[in-house]
Structure 1
Amino acid sequence: MSAIVRQPLNSAQIEMLSALAQLNSEEDLRALKDALSKFFAERADREMEKLWDEGVINEQVIEKWSKEHMRTPYH
């Protein structure tokens, strides 16, 4: 049996738990999920812009991605 290593929560995790404790309805949960989705989408967009500006990605790279087959093989 492997030992479980317990680490204290960081400040972001504590804030999230505090926010979750305030949810009183499914509507509140949906609103929080929407806000989190928007947050992570904006962060991903900023990172993609950064990679574009640094020349890491360009139209050719994106075209190559569109032709990649990355499905998980199920045998």
Structure 2
Amino acid sequence: MAPATPAPGRFLTAYTAGRPVVHGRWNGRAAAVRKFAGWVGEYGGLPGPRIVLVDEESGQELDRWPQERA
């Protein structure tokens, strides 16, 4: 039996100095938003941090930290 195709979700990536260091995927928006906030605290102190939350289905960026675009 073939594996089921996952439903579109929210994709979260943390970068340091322009390179991805960790990523994750959550189906529920509330869970992804909680993880986003946690990642800001956990990875925000890295050199040149950037954390981005994207909706996989639309490709729309839902949130980013810091707010300024590099």
Query: TM-score, normalising length from structure 2?
Result: 0.29
Identify the structure with the greater helix proportion: 1
Query: TM-score, normalising length from structure 1?
Result: 0.27
Please tell me whether Structure 1 or Structure 2 has the larger radius of gyration of its CA atoms. Answer: 1
Identify the structure with the greater strand proportion: 2
